A and B are shown apart, each in its own frame.
Chain A
Amino acid sequence: MSLRFHWMLPKGGEVSVATPQTPLEAARYRIEYNSAYPAPRPDMDGWSYFARCAEEAGIDSVLISFSRYEPDPFVVSCALGQATEKLRFIVAYRSGLMQPTTFVQQVNTLSALIEGRVALNIVAGSSTLEQHGYGDFLEHDERYARAGEFLAVCNSFWRADGEVDFEGTYYRVEKGKLHTPFVAPDRTVPEIYVSGHSEQSERLACSQGSCWLRVADTPEKLQPSVARMRERGIGVCLRLGLMCRPTREEAVRAVESLLPEDRREVTTGLKDDSQMYREGAAVTREAHWLNRSLWAGLVPHYGPVWTTLLGTPEELAEAFLAYKRIGVGEFIISGWPELDTVITFGREILPLVREGERRMSSVCL
């Protein structure tokens, strides 16, 4: 299997800014939820343009994040799916926001409208504060138990022909039946990415998911957990930021320019009860270089998904292949700005990765 590369959908307004953004401007756009920013508005022009560039770059899917700061990812995928032909959409959703039956009806409807180009990224929950605004008052561990039940009901709808009956702690469904099926050329159940670093999230990925989504770490650190997942037939997808420059020095300078002027600035407190965020905040300054290509310097300030792979096209292609060797199959990438980085990725890095993959498979033969 060739590696699959996905990209983060830019925020509303990010692509259509009139002047080219520096990495710093683009990065700030992502983290500053200023209500004057256009990010809360759907941005069909910018997104359609980005989507076409991503398709051309060889990107498989875009991840559409969920938060109270952004438009609903189902509705956005539906609109954007009408404007694209190949690109797939990984829709992030949290459990606790709707009944699983309703959720399946929406997923199935979307699949039928965009030829099955939809996958799910299930997040158990986010910050307690944000969840309260959605009417969800469960604590971290309970949210995972609920997400397990939620996905169990969803999977019953997708896998069963008859009626769905379920009686759990959080959900109860009696004689559930939906007539709109999941429609795709090659599958009857959507791919389900389960994200998180806690043990509960790993278990949830194994029991109900098709792929475990986590932040990049070094291949050495990841190897045991990746092997564990792969043995159970679950894929592994890494989330990372990408900074590619003609020389390593330029790449290092570019990522360091993203550090906030006030080095004490942190946004990670927002997600106080996420294990991923607690781990991220604990990374010390000395340990920012996880290896020669992987930098966690932005993590204490902006959060774990800012873990950045950086270097020249050759170094980056080699880094992706190193992950492939330990069994990682997919990546969801961000860049600052997203558009420039996806174009660079498609032009400079992906051809080298594909060439390396061909070499690997001929060696195996």
Chain B
Amino acid sequence: MLPKGGEVAMKTAQETSRVLTTKSTSPAALPDLEGWTRFARRAEECGIESVLLSFSRYEPDTILAACAVGQATKKLKFIVAYRMGLMQPTTFVQQVNTLSALIDGRVALNVVAGSSTLEQHGYGDFLEHDERYARAGEFLTVCRSFWQGDGEVNFEGEYCRVEKGKLHTPFVAPDRTVPEIYVSGHSEQAQQLALTQGSCWLRLIDTPEKLRPLVTRFRERGVEVCLRLCIVCRPTRDEALAAAHSLLPGDDIGRQERAILAGSDSQTLKQALAAADEVGWLSRQLWAGLVPFYGSSAMTLVGTPEELAEVFLQYKRIGVTQFIISGWPKLDEMLIFGREVLPLVREAERHCEEMAGG
């Protein structure tokens, strides 16, 4: 996850809480090219493949942020989050294609049907949750017609209409003509959208047991599964637990966070909050304790490098292929992951392959 503006320099998790990043005085409102470039270059060194850029009214536009950071990097890819209902699909494809041509195809999309109703109204979008998914389906159908078709695009749907659409700037990448499309969301509509229009379903981490049937369903239809999570990794489990607990904000911020999160009509968030309230720990490594304060993506794996590597491999065994990770402080935790956890995962993967091969 690409840190928000100013976060690369922040040392405590509390500074990155939603209460603070949604204030108009937050540095999250401004692009942080210096911090982002530093983070992006270290991410490349750590073996990170892509960074996800989140979209909200509190942050800079993701397509332009990806363009700027993309100029300063060589390998890193950018998963650009965008919501439906904000622009015409033709315009969106023209921007994505232009971006791809400028940064050697290092762009993927994270399509979000919408967010809180309040925030969508500020963008001029007045559809309800279920309708937003129907529109996202049409939107992506039009986008795919541009990417996959050679001729003119004609589409007449409920929400989108395009006649003789044609764009001359193609999607440019060394290995593909259509960007990867991550569709996120937990609702049935989100899953359907991922199956029909996505290349990967992006969802919050849960236990392997709970995820197995869902993952199987996607893999059978040729769609990958990517999990969103946070990590706290320390040399011993006790240190990891202490570090995780130190991330909890004070009561005051906690109350305000709850109020912000309650305004969302995302099913993903509702499920995550329920998990945090009811169980706290979903398994020995998976902790929901931070969700009420940092949002649903704060579902956190806590443990030693060995424990975490083993957990990633468990997900691999049930068919999960990708992860989008964050931690606190943003840069430090990524460096720990790159240095301590990833080599163990790669070693075990090599071992598995040898076993399979031999």
- Residues of A at under 8 Å CB distance from B? 33, 35, 39-42, 44, 68-72, 74-76, 78-79, 82-83, 96-102, 105-106, 108-110, 112-113, 129, 132-137, 163-164, 171-181, 183
Contacts and interface: CB of A to CB of B under 8 A. Distances in A.
Contacts of B101: 41-42, 71
Given A78-B64, A135-B90, A180-B59, 11 more contacts: A40-B170, A75-B95, A83-B71, A97-B87, A101-B57, A101-B124, A106-B61, A172-B126, A175-B118, A179-B22, A179-B57
B11 to A, nearest CB: 23
Interface of B: 22, 24, 26, 28-31, 33, 57-61, 63-65, 67-68, 71-72, 85-91, 94-95, 97-99, 101-102, 118, 121-126, 152-153, 160-170, 172
Contact of B164 (A35, A133, A171): A133
A100 B60 CA distance: 15
A172 B124 contact: yes
Nearest to A105: B61
Contacts of A96: 88
Contact of B57 (A83, A133, A178, A183): A178
Given A135-B162, A137-B161, A177-B122, A39 B168 contact: yes
Given A71-B169, A108-B60, A113 B86 contact: no
Nearest to B167: A68
Given A82-B71, A106-B64, A109-B61, A40 B121 contact: no
20 contacts: A41-B172, A68-B168, A72-B169, A76-B102, A78-B68, A98-B87, A99-B85, A99-B87, A109-B60, A109-B61, A110-B64, A112-B60, A113-B65, A129-B164, A134-B165, A135-B89, A164-B122, A172-B126, A175-B118, A180-B30
Contacts of B118: 175
B166 A133 contact: yes
Contacts of B102: 42, 44, 71, 75-76, 79
B88 A135 contact: yes
B231 to A, nearest CB: 28
B121 A175 contact: yes
Contacts of B162: 132-135
Contacts of A179: 22, 24, 26, 28-29, 57-59
A57 B323 CA distance: 50
